[in-house]
Amino acid sequence: MQIVTKTNIKEYPLLSRGKVRDIYELDPDTLLIVTTDRMSAFDVVMAQPIPYKGAVLNQITLFWMDMFKDVVENHLISAEVADYPEKLHPYREELHARSVLVKKARPLAIECIVRGYITGSGWKDYQKTGQVCGYSLPEGLVKSQKLEEPLFTPSTKAEFGAHDENIDLRRAEEIVGTQMLEQVRDLSLDIYQRAREYAEKKGIIIADTKFEFGQTDNGIMLIDEVLSPDSSRFWPADEYQPGKDQPSFDKQYLRDWLERSGWDKNPPPPDLPKEIIQETTYKYLLAYKLLTGKDLLQGGSYAA
């Protein structure tokens, strides 16, 4: 499997090149999304890629979308390069395992975050105010503690290079409307609960996650990545201890190194040491294997 940091598909217009994904417009209704091995942290793209990371994100998303296709429609058309237009066949090797054809949708202007444990920015807010995104929480919670009920805590969607902003439900309602907010809130909480129960049986705690939804003329659909190590915090269940930071299968390991490095979180980022790259790659591949039972590097892709 190739390591891919940037694509250059000349046959179709490049719609956007984000922190991780390159998106091409195949026709007015169809997009090609290529998930590269670029790594972003604190909204800055690192100088070095994390090998195979893009394929892990894409394959885990395919796995979850298939699991929840009866709960909510998703934007997938195909993940098989053989099904793609003939013009894309010369790019077969770099598209393999890390690309999808999808139906175009109008992304909602909020990101749908679900928190099952108090960590990250939620923990920081709780320490200051006793609240998380407008929810008042009990006194005496400790870092990484499981919440009695998962919280739906939306955020704004920042432009490239900017930071998302946590918002309360009233502000989210102003942005997307009452009915839409209720629909995506209920879907987000339902999918998270089901995924959390499944993952725990596989040895992974999904501490929190972020969903994105899009609108079409036929209604709402699940888009982008789903319950991946980039959009979620994955913790080893057998090592979980409330009251402290948790070991993880996601990019938190790399974030922790960046925090210790003294970097000010503005471009340019520091170069990543070889051992940090290798360990992060291992964590991503292990998360995929635990969840799906497949070894990605041995040809065990979910959409082979």
CATH code at position 224: 3.30.470.20
Model-level pTM? 0.92
Question: Is residue 6 a part of any domain in this protein?
Answer: yes
Q: Which residues contact 259 (CB under 8 A, 6 or more apart)?
A: none
Claim to verify: residue 67 and residue 113 sit in the same structural domain: no
Q: Is the model's pLDDT at 150 over the cut of 80?
A: yes
Claim to verify: residue 99 and residue 119 sit in the same structural domain: no
CATH number of the domain that residue 3 is part of: 3.30.200.20
* Domain limits for position 229: 107-259
Claim to verify: residue 162 and residue 255 sit in the same structural domain: yes
Of 72, 88, 104, which residue sits at a domain end? 104
Claim to verify: residue 56 and residue 190 sit in the same structural domain: no
Question: Is residue 58 a part of any domain in this protein?
Answer: yes
Check residue 302 and give its pLDDT: 57
Q: Is the model's pLDDT at 299 over the cut of 80?
A: no
Peptide bond into 268 cis (omega under 30): yes
Question: Is residue 18 a part of any domain in this protein?
Answer: yes
Check residue 304 and give its pLDDT: 42
258-263 average pLDDT score? 95
Question: How many structural domains compose the chain?
Answer: 2
Claim to verify: residue 30 and residue 152 sit in the same structural domain: no
Claim to verify: residue 19 and residue 31 sit in the same structural domain: yes
Q: Which residues contact 178 (CB under 8 A, 6 or more apart)?
A: none
Question: Is residue 298 a part of any domain in this protein?
Answer: no
Claim to verify: residue 145 and residue 246 sit in the same structural domain: yes
pLDDT, tens only, 1-51: 899 999 999 999 999 999 999 999 999 999 999 999 999 998 899 999 999
Q: Which residues contact 277 (CB under 8 A, 6 or more apart)?
A: 48, 50, 51
Q: What percentage of residues in the chain have a pLDDT greater than 90?
A: 87
**What is the chain's mean pLDDT, rounded?**
93
Check residue 218 and give its pLDDT: 87
139-153 average pLDDT score? 96
Of 89, 104, 119, which residue sits at a domain end? 104
